Chains A and B, each alone.
Chain A
Amino acid sequence: MNEEQKIAKTDEQSKALQTEAIGTEDAVYSPQVDIIEKKESVEVLADMPGVPKENVDLVMEEGVLTIDGKVAPTREDDLSLEAGEYGYGNYHRSFAVGDGLDTEGIEACMQDGVLKLTLPKTEKYKPKRIEIQ
């Protein structure tokens, strides 16, 4: 093995170690969420660090809302990993949405790696005050 091959080999090994430590973008994580029930809507907050707005995919199908977030690659190609505490991967989670929510009126925004969804309640499910005769 000549010097060049040796370096290539070490490089390969270090790449393999990195993959072991922080995974590949193929990994899938479930984002942590807060769900808040408000008077007229339900709000969902999901942590998806590393996902830009344009990489978020929201699909509503047969009463199931699916969130998909694709991380933007943030590898440091010319550097080697000293310590890896979080892995790279995409985010995926789905929720069943009941009849009480207006799925046509879902609003979504993404800021600083947090997805915020607002699902308005349908008229029927909004709280109503009942007058005593």
Chain B
Amino acid sequence: MVIWDRDFGLGSDPFSDLARFRNTMNRLFSSAMPLGAQGLFPPVNVWSNNEKAVVTAEVPGVNKEDMDISVENDALTVKGHREHVEIGDDESFRKRERGYGSFRRVIGLPYAVDPENVNAEYKDGILRVELHRHEASKPRKIDIS
């Protein structure tokens, strides 16, 4: 083993009992985790005001082409796939923490949005979707006659 994690405060001797124990534990748990095994994937933040809503999602390492976004009424659906890392016969995982696989999330929005007016961009592993409130769902002031 030529590279090892320092963050658990172990000394630099990788062959100490404790390090060996940790390596064993790591091996036990190192089979790649499907996405979502550690919680909902992707995690999202939803922002809004009376006119528009913005949804951002953390989706590192996903190809833009492997993502599918759709809007219906007050729900945004994000579907996609993160390729798992392929390795050769003479290669091995020393650590495997990153998840992989397919994901699908339906995100509730505070109001119905216009499906014709949606902007999505993907940058540095963050998906950002901007949605605009549907005219029909905007509050209307009614005059008393």
Count of inter-chain pairs, beta carbons less than 8 A = 150
Is the CB of A10 closer than 8 A to any CB of chain B? no
Specify which of B6, B56, B93, B124 is in contact with A95 (CB 8 Å cutoff). B6
A58-83 vs B, Cβ < 8 Å mask (1 yes, 0 no): 00000111000000101010111111
Is B96's CB within 8 Å of the partner chain A? yes
Residues of B within 8 A of A113 (CB): 58-61, 124-126
Q: Which of A80-94 contact B (CB under 8 A)?
A: 80-86, 93-94
Contact A35:B95 (CB < 8 A) given known A84-B45, A113-B61: yes
**Chain B residue nearest to A99 in the complex (CB):** B2
List residues of B (21-64) whose CB comes within 8 Å of A's CBs.
40, 43-49, 52-54, 56, 58-63
C-alpha gap A112/B52 in the complex (Å):
26
Task: Flag if B2 contacts A47 (CB, 8 Å).
Answer: no
Q: How far is the CB of A29 from chain B (nearest CB, A)?
A: 11
**Chain A interfacial residues counted at CB < 8 A:** 51
Least Cβ distance of A131 to chain B in Å? Answer: 19
Q: Are B46 and A52 in contact, CB atoms less than 8 angstroms apart?
A: no
User: Are B60 and A39 in contact (CB-based, < 8 A)?
Assistant: no
A105 at the interface (CB under 8 A from B): no
- Answer whether residue B3 sits at the interface, using C-beta atoms and an 8 A cutoff: yes
**Most chain A CB inside 10 Å of its own CB: which residue of B12, B87, B125:** B125
Sorting the interface of chain B by its residue count into under 10, 10 to 19, 20 to 34 or 35 or more gives 35 or more
Q: Which residue of chain B has the shortest Cβ distance to A116 in the bound complex?
A: B61
Residues of the B chain whose Cβ atoms lie less than 8 Å from the Cβ of A111: 61
Point out which of A78, A80, A113, A127 has the most chain B C-beta atoms below 10 A from its C-beta.
Answer: A113
Distance in angstroms between the alpha carbons of A125 and B2 in the assembled complex: 9
The distance from the CB of B116 to the nearest CB of chain A, in whole angstroms, is 21
Q: A45-B98, A47-B60, A83-B44 are in contact. List 10 more A-B contacts (CB 8 A).
A: A33-B95, A34-B85, A35-B95, A38-B87, A76-B54, A79-B54, A80-B49, A83-B46, A101-B2, A113-B124
Interface residues of A (CB under 8 A from B): 22, 30, 32-39, 42, 44-45, 47-52, 63-65, 72, 74, 76, 78-86, 93-101, 111-114, 119, 121, 125, 127
> Which positions in B face A, CB cutoff 8 Å?
1-7, 12, 14, 40, 43-49, 52-54, 56, 58-63, 85, 87-88, 90-99, 110, 122-126, 128
